[in-house]
Amino acid sequence: MKKLLLAGWAGAGLALAAARADEGMWLFNQPPRQQLKERYDFDTSNLWLDHLQKSSVRFNSGGSGSFVSEDGLLISNHHVGADALQKLSSEKKNYLHDGFYAKTTAEEVKCLDLELNVLQAIEDVTARVNAAIPAGADAAQSFLARRKVIAEIEKESLDRTGERSDVVTLWQGGAYHLYRYHRYTDVRLVFAPEQKIAFYGGDPDNFEFPRFDLDICLFRAYENGRPAKVKDFLKVSPAGPAEGDLVFVSGHPGATSRLLTMSELEYLRDRATPARLATLKRREVLLVNWSAREEENARRCREILFGVQNSRKAIDGRLAGLLDPALMGAKAKAEADFRAKLAGKAEFADAAAAYDQIAEATRISAANLVRSSLLEGGSAFDCESFRLARTLLRAGDERPKPNGERLREYSDSGKTSLELALFSEKPIYPDLEILTLTDSLTFFAGQLGAADPLVIQVLAGKSPRARAAELIERTRVRDLDLRRMIYNGGAKYAAGANDPMVELARLVDGEARALRKILEDQGEVKQRAHAALARARNALLGTSGYPDATFTLRLSFGAVAGYEEDGHGVPAFTTFSGLFERAKAMKNRSPFDLPPAWEKSQGRLHGKTPFNFVSTDDIIGGNSGSPVVNRAGEFVGIIFDGNLQSLPADYAYTDRQARATSVASAAILEALEKVYRVPNLRRELLAGKHAP
């Protein structure tokens, strides 16, 4: 990895104040009107925001997208759609590797378990949530009361509107907003390019720039068996953006940690992040070696391996940020300065005490990190069969309880999403299951020791390999009909199923739940402490900020701009001619070899067509597939990555070198026309309606 060049973190404490520069993942109901007016002379109208909000799409599998046609056509990244492509693929037909195009709607292929969410409305329910917490309640009582009222709010909204309804925690507990989504569960694949061009340059070029990727995938949402009619969709700009243009990103950033205290950041730096990184690196070696043995092995785990490698590289960058003295020094100074503002002010006594409360809660969480990640996190039993078995077991235990007393994922408002995943017909490969379960059982025994009583019970007198093979070969949870029977039969049926994987889930469930409760209670301590800090920040510094990302819709803004690295200028754009030059320079060796369709099309493509570009928009994981729009709200590109310098943005943002990377709209249109020869699809993108 290149040196991250993390100088210039003077803005690392800006989460405590109004953001400046192009920083910010802003709420749509609290947009950065003043910043946009002062910096870019842009007036943000409610009509413009509402249209962009309802044109934006969240992939429940992770990632973002946008509608680009009134007939339900939507675009995201190839790597966001990879989960759906992998599940549709087989040894005979590999959608992920080879690509796909449906010439007619009749040929569009239904995805197995893909759910899309489109945000319809946001309601502030902070007062109701906080009012439900009894005065003097301890953390455990407070957590249960909060869980109950949140479940009530979500269920009331679901019953009233029929829309997916999620209460979202913002500012680490400073506010609670109810998000209502229109849900699409009939989603069909329309177009995907070959993986070689969607992820051109592979892992070596990942998080680098210049880039040459056509990282796109097109789907169509259906309702009642017909293409959905959508009122809000984005018009595609044929020309795309120019250098210096103001551009916006509307997407669903997964999570950031910019408002965390120093004790929390130090825990991430010293414990949680290194542990996660070690797990990813171990799993990457396992999957790379297994993939190298047979081509079919490689096909089966290609999407999983990409996710592991992508996460490993991203977390490497985040850890580099946490280890950078400039970034952490700026964070420490910002915290010290704010604590000085609180000192001696009786009205902020709860905020002044919050730092010690958070530190103690973090210490307790850290003490339970290993066992909780193994058991409740499931890293000791890394296979789809175990995840299915645990879901079946817990569903039987949770559903008889009152809605407000269940584990959150089993609430009434989450039932549709849970059942969509549980009853998916996605392929599950026993040999891959044995591989990953063997590895994770070995890790489990290594972490806790072979003499640990639970390790002895789990392995049942066998080696990790023999135990994994026994469990995978004997379990029946991969049988869809049996899953339905166990789920519908409840706890009694699950107990009588005599399935070894369900029994393994039962064996560890008591301790897993106990560990979860410890972390939930400590999370409640931190939420209450962070809420006190949020109130103090608002009183002392104003309210013109933004909360940490929560995989909910956010608006970012910035300019199309290159940057300087190692004394050399990095232009904002790459071009088609640059792609072919890159392939030639790398002697067309993998992963820099081009698909045959691209080699044949070189003479037809306009060499100066913009391919990928970078901008100063503030993004993070989850923004993949987000539309990039101009002042007119036109689609000019699609986010697919950030550069190396953007990776520490989990903790702090700077636009000195950090850049968001996008595919240009002009490249998409020209590739569809001249490489893939799909004029109907290109016409639909330009016209905004289906072209028969």
Q: Kindly report, residue by residue over 187-236, the tens digit of the pLDDT.
A: 999 999 999 999 999 999 999 999 999 999 999 999 999 999 999 999 99
**pLDDT at position 330:** 96
Average pLDDT for residues 416-436, to the nearest whole number? Answer: 97
According to the 3-state scheme, what is the secondary structure of 421-455? HHCCCCCCCHHHHHHHHHHHHHHHHHHHCCCCHHH
Q: Does domain 9-115+191-258+550-687 have CATH number 3.40.50.300?
A: no
pLDDT bucket at 21, cuts 50 / 70 / 90: confident
Paired with 557 in beta bridges are 248
Distance CA 327, CA 9 (A): 5
Is residue 6 over pLDDT 60?
A: no
Confidence (pTM): 0.94
pLDDT bucket at 4, cuts 50 / 70 / 90: very low
Average pLDDT, the chain: 95
Average pLDDT for residues 55-71, to the nearest whole number? Answer: 97
In degrees, rounded to 5, the angle at the alpha carbon of residue 477 between the alpha carbons of residues 472 and 481 is 145
pLDDT bucket at 69, cuts 50 / 70 / 90: very high
**pLDDT at position 3:** 40
According to the 3-state scheme, what is the secondary structure of 587-609? CCCCCCCCCHHHHHHCCCCCCCC
Cis before 591? omega within 30: yes
Average pLDDT for residues 329-341, to the nearest whole number? Answer: 96
**pLDDT at position 496:** 87
- Nearest alpha carbon to residue 372 among 269, 487, 516: 516
Distance CA 394, CA 399 (A): 8
Average pLDDT for residues 177-182, to the nearest whole number? Answer: 98
SS3 690: coil
Distance CA 126, CA 117 (A): 23
Average pLDDT for residues 412-424, to the nearest whole number? Answer: 96
* CB-count exposure of residue 115 (10 Å: 0-12, 13-18, 19+): buried
Is residue 14 over pLDDT 80?
A: no
Is residue 534 over pLDDT 70?
A: yes
pLDDT tens, position by position, 628-647: 999 999 999 999 999 999 99
Token code pair at residue 284: 């990457």
Is residue 110 over pLDDT 90?
A: yes
Distance CA 553, CA 57 (A): 9
